[in-house]
């Protein structure tokens, strides 16, 4: 087994999106990755790290992750306290939740995320803006539609379960039942396991082959 190598990366900016959610922008330090991969991140003097899908694109100068603080967590409260010029430890990027390199521009794509599970899709879209995609983002409130301006108009759908301020009132599963998917669509699901299981079943019922459904459980 290859030993994971951790390196210290300086924080450049902490960008608050909601009271509990923020983006950490860090020095890249030559770290290479493919859109959709994840890294382990932790405070410089701690013993714990957490996996984060990379939020930025492979061609960006800096490295970004999207973080939601869990007050009882071992890592996120410590990350929230960090400031620019502080450091974090990061390991090499890994993972297979990626797009095919030979993907045709006209290939229809469905991205389904819950909460901060939108991170790999943000990287996909920044890396390849000409993708033929629709992105369903399941959140509680419209205020959690993180940086929706980064997505092409008409391609991002905020599905809000607790208010009517999004694009669709209800869960991503409700949206899919009302808006069936073309069976030829490649479907990428990232978020909590309950959402993934339910969406997977809905897509199969709509004729999408299991080989065309890709999943990444996000805690």
Q: State residue 219's pLDDT score.
A: 62
Give dist(CA 120, CA 134) in Å, integer.
14
Instruction: Note whether 150 and 206 are same-domain residues.
Output: yes
* pLDDT, averaged in runs of 10, over the chain (219 residues): 71 97 97 97 88 98 97 92 95 96 94 98 97 98 97 97 96 98 98 97 98 91
Residue 169 lies in a domain: yes
Instruction: Note whether 83 and 112 are same-domain residues.
Output: no
CATH number of 18's domain: 2.40.30.10
Instruction: State residue 151 phi and psi, 5-degree precision.
Output: -110, 145
Domain boundary (91, 122, 147) is at: 91
Which domain covers residue 166, as residue numbers? 108-217
Q: State residue 88's pLDDT score.
A: 96
Instruction: Note whether 113 and 79 are same-domain residues.
Output: no
Total number of domains in the chain? 2
Q: State residue 218's pLDDT score.
A: 82
CATH number of 198's domain: 3.40.50.80
What is the sign of the dihedral through the CA atoms of 196, 20, 139 and 100? negative
CB 111 within 8 A of CB 186: no
Give dist(CA 131, CA 178) in Å, integer.
24
Domain boundary (61, 91, 121) is at: 91
Residue 101 lies in a domain: no
């Amino acid at each position: 087994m290859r030993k994971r190598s951790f390196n210290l990366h300086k924080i450049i900016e902490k960008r608050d999106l909601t009271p509990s959610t923020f983006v950490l922008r860090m020095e890249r330090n030559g770290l290479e990755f493919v859109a959709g991969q994840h890294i382990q991140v932790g405070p410089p003097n701690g013993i714990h790290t957490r996996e984060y899908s990379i939020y930025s694109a492979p061609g960006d100068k800096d490295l970004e992750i999207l973080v939601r603080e869990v007050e009882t967590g071992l890592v996120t409260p410590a990350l929230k306290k960090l400031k620019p010029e502080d450091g974090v430890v990061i390991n090499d990027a890994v993972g297979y939740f990626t797009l095919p390199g030979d993907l045709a521009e006209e290939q229809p794509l469905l991205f389904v995320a819950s909460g901060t599970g939108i991170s790999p899709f943000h990287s996909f879209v920044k890396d390849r803006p000409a993708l033929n995609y629709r992105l369903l983002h399941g959140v509680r409130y419209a205020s959690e539609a993180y940086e929706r301006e980064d997505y092409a108009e008409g391609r991002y759908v905020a599905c809000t379960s607790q208010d009517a301020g999004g694009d669709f009132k209800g869960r991503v599963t409700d949206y899919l039942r009302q808006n069936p998917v073309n069976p030829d669509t490649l479907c990428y699901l990232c978020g909590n396991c309950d959402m993934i299981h339910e969406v997977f079943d809905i897509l199969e019922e709509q004729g999408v082959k299991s080989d065309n459904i890709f999943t990444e459980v996000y805690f």
